[in-house]
C-alpha cells in the first residue's frame, strides 16, 4: 500500500511539474511579446516627439535624460 501511495504522489508531482513548465513557457512567451510592444511604443513616442518637436514627450522616450543633451536656458529662449 505504501508503494502505491508513493507512486500516486510521484504521478501527481510529475503532472504538476509538467503543468508548471507549460505555464512558465506561456508566461515567457507573453513577456517576450510585451517587451516587443514596449520597444515599439518607445519607438513611436520618440518619432512623435521628433515630429512634433515637443520636449514634453521627452520623459516618455528617455525618463532619465542626460544633462549634457539639454540646451542651455539662454540659447533656448533666444
The 3-class secondary structure across 11-76, one letter per residue, is HHHHHHHHHHHHHHHHHHHHHHHHHHHHHHHHHHHHHHHHHHCCHHHHHHHCCCCCHHHCCCHHHH
The whole model's pTM is what?
A: 0.53
pLDDT of residue 78: 45
pLDDT of residue 49: 78
Domain range annotation of the chain: 2-77
The pLDDT tens digits along the chain (78 residues) read 466 777 889 999 999 999 999 999 999 999 999 999 999 999 998 888 787 775 665 666 666 656 555 555 555 544
pLDDT of residue 57: 58
Measured CA to CA, the distance from residue 45 to residue 57 in angstroms comes to 7
Amino acid at each position: 500500500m505504501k508503494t502505491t501511495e508513493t507512486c500516486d504522489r510521484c504521478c501527481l508531482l510529475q503532472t504538476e511539474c509538467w503543468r508548471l513548465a507549460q505555464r512558465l513557457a506561456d508566461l515567457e512567451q507573453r513577456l517576450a511579446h510585451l517587451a516587443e510592444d514596449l520597444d515599439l511604443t518607445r519607438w513611436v513616442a520618440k518619432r512623435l516627439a521628433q515630429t512634433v518637436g515637443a520636449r514634453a514627450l521627452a520623459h516618455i522616450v528617455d525618463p532619465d535624460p542626460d544633462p549634457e543633451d539639454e540646451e542651455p536656458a539662454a540659447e533656448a529662449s533666444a
